[in-house]
Structure 1
Amino acid sequence: MADAAIRVDEALPTEPAPAPRPQPAPQAMPTPVLTKGLLFGYFAMVFGMFMAILDIQIVSSSLSEIQAGLSVSADEIAWVQTSYLIAEVIMIPFSGYLSRLLSTRVLFVISAASFTLASVGCAMSSSLDSMIVMRALQGFLGGAMIPTVFASTYMIFPREKMASATVIIGLVATLAPTVGPTLGGYLTQLMSWHWLFLVNVIPGIFVCLTVGALVDIDKPNYALFKGFDYVGLGALALFLGSLEYVLEEGTRNDWFNDETIRNFAIATAIGAVLFFWRSFTSKNPIVDLKAFRNRNFATGCLFSLTLGIGLYGLVYLLPLFLARVRGLNSLQIGEIMFVTGMTQFLTAPAAGILARKVDPRPVLAFGFALLAASTWSMTRLTGDWQFDELLWPQIMRGAALMFAIVPINVIALGTLPPNELKNASGLYNLTRNLGGAFGLAGINTVMTDRTAFHWNRLVDSINPGRWEVQQYMDQIAGMFGDRLPAEPMQVAIKMLGNKVQGQAYIMSFIDVFFILSLIFAAAALAVAFAQRPKQQQAGGGGH
């Protein structure tokens, strides 16, 4: 029986059984060769990103000049910034889909060209309505440049050159908001506010021509036109646009006591529900949220959100103090703020070396700890502080930003597969912008509430029966005597009220810096819970 079994087995066909049909693998991203031309084109893209980020701060430092030129009120001129930010925050996550649809080169050239044309439109605006439309177009159409550069960095460079490239985009992302007030002050003082926008024209043309000629790292996927999720796009715009409006206008309009803010908050909730529903159910979602399954990416986005609070919040706070308390103009403020930018530039090589040599988590913890030390040193603020007193806090802040953003980039984007980079880059940059929006809204709210709190406490302590108060009032009244038509004592009371208001305002600054110190210190401690990133093999250079 055994021999028969053997003979039967030998009679069977000797060809191996057909292997099971392999499942189709995800479409691989092309691996570009890192030539000198591609490298030059990449630096042109980085310069375009610098323009887009710079445009926010360069305009905010000179809003009063634009307000005078357009003859509008202080509340109305705020829409010059709000319209830009709302439009930009919608485009940033949408850019990943557009990049896959059109290719990196086509999307970036369209974005840079539109940004440049809209800049000309802003400079030519003679009314608030036309300015708001042009700023919205500038923010929306130009907003794709920022996430596209981040994604391209991880597509182009080989692993051994990734650290240096990450330092470059980190330096640009943090340096542009810092030098914005400086450049804006020079342009408005030496020429006019129109040059805040016209300064983009020649660089914009250069960026468009260079990127169009030299950058070709992927191919378009026009199949994405089929089944385009219009509902998802509308939900994204409703969600993020309404959220940005609530955050920008909430403090000015007393938050939910204002009917318009309440309506936009409801719109935010409705848009969020629709957006997340479409993101999880659509075959071709406008924004693919699968990248958040990667723990490093999710953790990096949380750190990016925190860094956004520091980056945009501190760039807002210091000029506010220098303008309202010290009475400096935009040019003088820019000269003081330049210290932070110079420090970032000088510490960038050290940040690059550390990113290449060591675990990024201790570097990130050091960056957040140094940022906390910088804001903590500002809790000793007085109304007399100027360049000398602000020197070391600014030096610490500049170094901290570089030591934080480079490892955050590595943690968030350095471990993702190439086919997820474009979409993930938009989400990653969105978190930094939202961190800035949440930070500014929180800062303004705390400033308003704490100024009123300190005012009430100081007023309660100013008893006219106290000898010190009476002596101050008599001294002020005696200084004016009969030289004023009003009663000298009334003038003294008004001056005392202004002094109390100024002290309450400075104390509210101290409270904000104290809260920010706690946030950054908590972020430094939270780094211990992050995983050490295991680097994916990067593309580029034929590797």
Structure 2
Amino acid sequence: MAAAAIPAHSATPEAGAAPVDWTKIFLGFGGMVIGQFMAILDIQIVASSLVQIQAGIGATADEISWVQTIYLLAEVVIMPLTAYLTRMWGTRSFYVVAVVGFMATSVAVGLSSSVGLMIAFRALQGIFAGAMIPPIFAVAMTVFPPERRITANVIIGLIVTLAPTIGPTLGGHLTDQLSWRWLFFINVPAGMLVIYLVGRYGAFDKGDPSLAKGIDWPGLALMSVFLLSMQYVLEEGSSEGWFDDDLILWLSVTAVIAGVAFLWRQLTYRQPIVSLKPFRDRNFAVGMLMTLVTGVSLFGGTFLLPLYLGQVRGFSAGEVGTTMLVSGLTMFLAAPLAGRLVAKLDARIAMAVGFGLAAWALQLGVHITDDWGFREFFLLQAVRAAGTIVAMIASQQMCVSTLPVSMMKDASGLINLLRNVGGAIGLAMISTILTHQGAVHYADIAGAASVANPVSSGMLQSLTELMSASGMANPEGGAAKAMSMMMHRQAAVLAFGDAFLFLAFGCWAAVVLALFTKPGKSAAPAAGGH
């Protein structure tokens, strides 16, 4: 039999009320944690297996990139709606439906025989996945009292940071041992466990069916156009040359117009689908900026390191996963300590410490060379991971420290949306930096490598003699080509250093931004989203 609905903040039962069964609450909450892990994991689980998927469905390189992109686009659209839908249907019913949909679409993606079908089903999978992420934060903030909230929120923060990190490693091993289709089939047994736990023990609240009347359909349409356009521009802008591409230009204009119209609609309509009231709280507004920076740091660092290891060092998926394991293990070990630290310190100090550690670690990457590997990245990863988990928990606490409980569901959707958008901004900026700075550094290196330069001319002469000794028909041409490849490699390494500097600068800016918040009511740290 399902557990009875649990009133918010039921730390101690009132006179005559049944005692709260915390075992059942944690079982229901644990089911949602597993669901959140699945949804976040599926963003990156395909990263190391795109070549195998491409061969399996006969897709081009451009088409296969949409297997990841469309998932993120769909997630972003549904996240702001989760607060409205959970209020209308109740958290348990909404979550179970989302998990069933996620399982069904996962199977459909795994069975896809063409790229068109896979992209379509992957979009649907992203919608259901996006619906599974924000509700867990709202549950943590409304069901658990402050003295128990820290445990729940540290678990959520751990899932948020671990899932993207281990995704490529797990995906690579599944593909090697079984096939790429099991990247999606694996969601079925996990989903069945989630349905059982949430369906049986997740009666956290009751729905309000009256909200089904008067749904703001124009507002929903404007929001969808705004978020889809913005996310597409951020995802594809760098590879298309930004505003040099007509589609990117017009989608940018569309995003601005639809975004302004959407904000006006939500501020004036009697029953907005996304409440913007939390932004009236200064701590929430500043905390959201911090959350944006957290998204840039978390997803940007997770994106940059494997890219360097694969492109410059030529590491295999397994070697990349082994190197990246440092981040995951550090976050796993640091999460409980981070929770205690944030609970004892002023949130502003905790944010400054967390972002400061992440910034210092990322600055180490400015000095990157073309022979960095596990040992050289160890300290960078460990300190950055520890700082990120502290900053994430502290910024989430700051967001909700002065908000009333009635706004928690709306805040949850907005927090998760901003973190995803921050990740998209970070990836777009990093891609642009790598492309632009790579070209700039190559031009500088090529300009310095003239005939008048004794070092470069000597190197070219040595390469020519080596090619000639090996019996090459055109040793001069081979030497020039090898020299060009070496210069491109060095330019790429310098560009990676610039990208690490960009991430470090963002974290240092967050340290300064923390000074503009004010102390909130004492609350346990909150973490959530992805």
Q: Structure 1 length normalisation: TM-score? A: 0.91
Matched with 1:402 is 389
List gaps (5 residues or longer) in structure 2.
Answer: 1-5, 11-19, 526-530
Matched with 2:3 is none
- Encode CA deviations 1:389-428: one digit per residue, 9 max, x unaligned: 1111011011111111111121112432222111110001
- Contact in 2 for aligned 1:304/1:432 (Cα 8 Å): yes
Matched with 2:399 is 412
- Distance change (3 Å), C-alpha of 1:126 and 1:484: farther
- Distance change (3 Å), C-alpha of 1:476 and 1:536: closer
- Contact in 1 for aligned 2:39/2:133 (Cα 8 Å): yes
CA RMSD of aligned residues (A): 1.7
Aligned partner of 2:295: which letter?
Answer: G
- Contact in 1 for aligned 2:293/2:510 (Cα 8 Å): yes
State the alpha-carbon separation in 1 of the partners of residues 52 and 521 from structure 2: 50
- Encode CA deviations 1:56-102: one digit per residue, 9 max, x unaligned: 11122322222222222211111111111111000001111111111
Is 2:435 the counterpart of 1:448? Answer: yes
Q: CA deviation at 1:217?
A: 1.3
SS of 1:372's partner is helix
- Encode CA deviations 1:488-511: one digit per residue, 9 max, x unaligned: 110000000000000000000001
- Distance change (3 Å), C-alpha of 1:68 and 1:537: closer
- Encode CA deviations 1:144-193: one digit per residue, 9 max, x unaligned: 11110010001111111122222111111111111112212222233221
State the alpha-carbon separation in 2 of the partners of residues 356 and 234 from structure 1: 41
Matched with 1:291 is 278
Aligned partner of 2:123: which letter?
Answer: A
Matched with 1:8 is none
State the alpha-carbon separation in 2 of the partners of residues 224 and 231 from structure 1: 16
Matched with 2:98 is 111
State the alpha-carbon separation in 1 of the partners of residues 401 and 97 from structure 2: 27
State the alpha-carbon separation in 1 of the partners of residues 382 and 472 from structure 2: 49
- Contact in 2 for aligned 1:91/1:140 (Cα 8 Å): yes
- Contact in 2 for aligned 1:58/1:196 (Cα 8 Å): yes
State the alpha-carbon separation in 2 of the partners of residues 536 and 328 from structure 1: 44
Q: CA deviation at 1:485?
A: 5.1
Which of 322, 334, 341 is equivalent to 1:354? Answer: 341
State the alpha-carbon separation in 1 of the partners of residues 350 and 8 from structure 2: 32
Which of 504, 508, 520 is equivalent to 2:491? Answer: 504
Q: CA deviation at 1:537?
A: 10
Is 2:125 the counterpart of 1:138? Answer: yes
Q: CA deviation at 1:295?
A: 1.5
Q: CA deviation at 1:34?
A: 4.8
Matched with 1:487 is 474
Is 2:446 the counterpart of 1:459? Answer: yes
Q: How many residue pairs end up in the alignment?
A: 511
Q: Structure 2 length normalisation: TM-score? A: 0.94
Is 2:145 the counterpart of 1:158? Answer: yes
Which of 361, 368, 381 is equivalent to 1:381? Answer: 368
Matched with 1:121 is 108
Is 2:249 the counterpart of 1:271? Answer: no
Matched with 1:282 is 269
Indicate the larger mover: 526-535 or 231-240. Answer: 526-535
- Distance change (3 Å), C-alpha of 1:476 and 1:276: same
Is 2:252 the counterpart of 1:256? Answer: no
- Contact in 2 for aligned 1:29/1:419 (Cα 8 Å): no
SS of 1:446's partner is helix
Matched with 2:82 is 95
- Contact in 1 for aligned 2:361/2:384 (Cα 8 Å): yes
- Contact in 2 for aligned 1:415/1:535 (Cα 8 Å): no
Matched with 2:502 is 515
- Distance change (3 Å), C-alpha of 1:116 and 1:414: farther
Q: CA deviation at 1:31?
A: 5.4
Q: CA deviation at 1:306?
A: 0.3
Mapping of residues 192-271 of structure 1, within 5 Å: 192-271=179-258
- Contact in 2 for aligned 1:45/1:207 (Cα 8 Å): yes
- Distance change (3 Å), C-alpha of 1:375 and 1:30: closer
Matched with 2:308 is 321
State the alpha-carbon separation in 2 of the partners of residues 77 and 431 from structure 1: 26
Is 2:518 the counterpart of 1:534? Answer: no
SS of 1:481's partner is helix
- Distance change (3 Å), C-alpha of 1:484 and 1:109: farther
State the alpha-carbon separation in 2 of the partners of residues 433 and 232 from structure 1: 21
- Distance change (3 Å), C-alpha of 1:74 and 1:484: farther
Q: CA deviation at 1:258?
A: 0.8
- Contact in 2 for aligned 1:166/1:409 (Cα 8 Å): no
| Structure number, greater radius of gyration | 1
Indicate the larger mover: 313-322 or 518-527. Answer: 518-527
- Distance change (3 Å), C-alpha of 1:96 and 1:468: same
SS of 1:284's partner is coil
- Contact in 2 for aligned 1:417/1:536 (Cα 8 Å): no
Which of 36, 42, 54 is equivalent to 1:55? Answer: 42
State the alpha-carbon separation in 2 of the partners of residues 536 and 480 from structure 1: 68
Mapping of residues 12-27 of structure 1, within 5 Å: none
- Encode CA deviations 1:9-54: one digit per residue, 9 max, x unaligned: xxxxxxxxxxxxxxxxxxx975563531121110110111011111
Indicate the larger mover: 61-70 or 151-160. Answer: 61-70
Aligned partner of 1:47: which letter?
Answer: I
Matched with 1:79 is 66
Identical amino acids, percent of aligned pairs: 42
- Contact in 1 for aligned 2:286/2:516 (Cα 8 Å): no
